[in-house]
Structure 1
């Protein structure tokens, strides 16, 4: 009897090497090994999300300490997003050329270095420049989280485990706001202003994770696309051995896989055949989702100060609302593999639109916190569904590039958003800001419903 845990002979004919390796990974039962890589990779999302929402915290804090005007506050938020735009374009493409693991180490290393340096910025110009460079380092982080985990996780639990990874990551959002509320108002520690410690904390945490990630293997699916078949087979065989030992069970036999060869894919393939429709759909999606999703998180402290609350109260109320991010992420876990991704994305987007409108009109603290909390719960059901979905609609040879370029558009939109939103906020009020956001989320729903393919429960190669 053939040992299914050992590498099987690969053929170039009926079952291409890539498809065979994919089938071997997909049929594995979930194990401690899968949970470990989900944790190590998911913690990286913490720093990306911490940094994204830190922009709004810093804008609210430094407006008082450095006497920042409307435009300067917008730049504090935008600088990191502009860096992420550049990093997502460059590092995500390099991940398809040089490997997922290598870019994991490059991006967090750059972020840790420049985030630490920005903590000692003497003025606004230095702060903006260093936050831009830190953003470059983080630009491909979420792209790599999605791509890497999708290429390792069995298809039966792909959505659920990616949702677990983001649940770890989204703890960073209320942490950023709660730390901000605690460290503002002139507090100093060891002679440094409290806001500087927010940047130091992110840098040190990312540096520690960098050490943990050095133990991660390269993606076998990517290795096969690069023609490194023997290395891919060795990694898959090692994973099978560990999973068999951890579960104490005989591994299922490798199913007959569809003959869908994975190969190197030129970047231009994004704009040909079926992928052209998917690329168009996802570019439109990323621009629109940024306004509804990141608009609240990055602007909430500024919106609340515009409503007349103090900086400390604004950060506290925002932090309480942000608690919905990890809770919403956790709530998505039992849903994400049971409901078709498109349906879940659309339902959650409509929830974001409705709760955003209620938040924009809210005046009482209880209403601000309640609707902010419900908005963030919907936001992370939405976010987890779309992060899984985007990994499933492009092939391995193009996956990181296609996701990263679309993601870069969202970061560019995030950089422009403060200038537009804060102008509308000043001239027309919070209700108009969130009414406009609601309209864009409805357009997003139409985009996904009309152009998005089905994906739930299918292998990456089949999709």
Structure 2
């Protein structure tokens, strides 16, 4: 139930958006954005260690299907965690939740290292996923509300692309950890999971210095705390940049509320923004199937069909291409525009993936990895922009839950089915050694990516350089009632109050 506590006119959003880039913003990037490195580390360790986990003596005796199942269980946990922690993020605040979700991840990934049997392993993977899913909701909402509008696109895309730093690191890490001449085979894969927990503790220490979102605070009746935080940020940025900040004249008036009911949030998403809902669903399903299906099982593909013993080098090259793509293309989402860049990256990567499927039997391990690197150079930027889209085109009060909702629905449709499908395809094709039998997975991923790109072309929102409040007004904004038939869901018009 929403409880109104008062009205306030504030210039806080305009003051945050007019800030020049400074070292303080790097604190936000490092403290919050580095969680994607953990996610990349998790996914890559599982993909790289499929053979180690299959060994009944030193591993857990998993089958090919079990490897795919473990990926699906992790993603299922992420979906549930996103929804559970997402609504808490909108209700209780960004900071409480981005500390709590990281703690959940840390405990669960360390528990994975001590798994004595497959059941323990699956349960630990599930709770590791819940922590990561909650992170997506809490972190994306906090980052977008703290980063100036002029930099929001490139920062969001690059941060989400940092997943691949963890992926590359995880790939290289598994090389010595899976070498029995360096570390006993029974302990190598366990150490890999344990190191993820150590990295998370370091991130938690940095993250404690990141403030609560002032935007969330003033809407929830804590305007004095919000004002104090913004003044502190302004002083810090002036000192670090050497620039005197100009005053702002733009203000917004909101009806403060302690809580906003899920009914109002649901009505906002499905009634006021049906086109944006379809857009986000399409983008998330495409990228979730593509990435979870391909990357969760790529190590298994290499070892089963292409006689690769040590997959770490291949995955590291693949991961490096993904990060470079997101980093190199991210400024274009602010300069050229969201719609053009998302359409381009989705459609191109989908077409290339489909072509790869047709000629799958002609690739070696090296050339397939090279082709994958080219495909995902473009796909990584598009996939990262899906999170950017969901986090900026809905009202602030619903932001974290909207990210969680589309992440969960899209990932459940693509991320759970993808690993299970690929695991089944690999299992079925392993006896004959015919790699072409997994091509159908490539074709499905290609079709979903192309479809997502076409939906973006028709329904995409031109959000580059605009304040979050102009893209979608807060539900609590004090404004005139919209005219009948008002355009709440077009590309430029703000939402009604």
Fold-level similarity (TM above 0.5): yes
Residue of structure 1 aligned with 2:443, choices 432, 435, 443: 435
SS at match of 2:469: coil
Query: Using the alignment, how far apart are the partners of 1:325 and 1:255 within structure 2?
Result: 41
Which residue of 1 is the match for residue 140 of structure 2? 146
Which deviates further from its counterpart, 182-191 or 89-98?
Answer: 182-191
Query: Using the alignment, how far apart are the partners of 2:389 and 2:254 within structure 1?
Result: 20
Which deviates further from its counterpart, 357-366 or 233-242?
Answer: 357-366
Which residue of 2 is the match for residue 329 of structure 1? 326
Shift of 1:170: 2.4
Residue of structure 1 aligned with 2:25, choices 11, 19, 34: 34
Which residue of 1 is the match for residue 418 of structure 2? 417
Q: Note if contact 1:83-1:133 (Cα within 8 Å) is conserved in structure 2.
A: yes
Q: Note if contact 1:262-1:396 (Cα within 8 Å) is conserved in structure 2.
A: no
Shift of 1:12: 4.8
Which residue of 1 is the match for residue 208 of structure 2? 214
Residue of structure 1 aligned with 2:39, choices 28, 48, 57: 48
Which residue of 1 is the match for residue 267 of structure 2? 269
| Deviation digits for residues 277-327 of structure 1 (CA, Å, limit 9, x no counterpart) | 322331233222211233222221122223232341x33322222221221
Q: Note if contact 1:260-1:461 (Cα within 8 Å) is conserved in structure 2.
A: no
Query: Using the alignment, how far apart are the partners of 2:133 and 2:31 within structure 1?
Result: 18
| Deviation digits for residues 379-416 of structure 1 (CA, Å, limit 9, x no counterpart) | 22213322222221011100000111111123323123
The number of residues matched between the two structures is: 448
Q: What are the equivalent positions in structure 2 for 1:41-440 lying under 5 Å apart?
A: 41-64=32-55, 65-186=59-180, 189=183, 193-257=187-251, 265=260, 266-312=264-310, 314-360=311-357, 361=360, 362-412=362-412, 413-425=414-426, 426-427=428-429, 429-440=437-448
SS at match of 1:429: helix
Q: Note if contact 1:341-1:386 (Cα within 8 Å) is conserved in structure 2.
A: no
Which residue of 2 is the match for residue 3 of structure 1? none
SS at match of 2:150: coil
Shift of 1:115: 0.8
Query: Using the alignment, how far apart are the partners of 1:187 and 1:92 within structure 2?
Result: 45
Long gaps (5+) in structure 1: 1-10
| Deviation digits for residues 215-243 of structure 1 (CA, Å, limit 9, x no counterpart) | 11100001112111111111111111111
Which residue of 1 is the match for residue 459 of structure 2? 451
Shift of 1:429: 2.0
Query: Using the alignment, how far apart are the partners of 1:452 and 1:273 within structure 2?
Result: 17
Q: Note if contact 2:67-2:423 (Cα within 8 Å) is conserved in structure 1.
A: no
Query: Using the alignment, how far apart are the partners of 2:237 and 2:128 within structure 1?
Result: 37
Long gaps (5+) in structure 2: 1-5, 430-435, 472-497
Residue 166 and residue 402 in structure 1: after superposition, are their counterparts in 2 closer, same or farther (change >3 A)? closer
Shift of 1:204: 0.7
Query: Using the alignment, how far apart are the partners of 1:383 and 1:441 within structure 2?
Result: 10
| Deviation digits for residues 61-91 of structure 1 (CA, Å, limit 9, x no counterpart) | 3124444323322222222112111111101
Shift of 1:186: 4.0
SS at match of 1:122: coil
Query: Using the alignment, how far apart are the partners of 2:47 and 2:210 within structure 1?
Result: 33
Residue 417 and residue 182 in structure 1: after superposition, are their counterparts in 2 closer, same or farther (change >3 A)? same
Give the alignment's TM-score, normalised by structure 1: 0.90
Give the alignment's TM-score, normalised by structure 2: 0.84
Shift of 1:272: 4.3
Which deviates further from its counterpart, 75-84 or 424-433?
Answer: 424-433
Residue 127 and residue 183 in structure 1: after superposition, are their counterparts in 2 closer, same or farther (change >3 A)? same
Shift of 1:155: 0.4
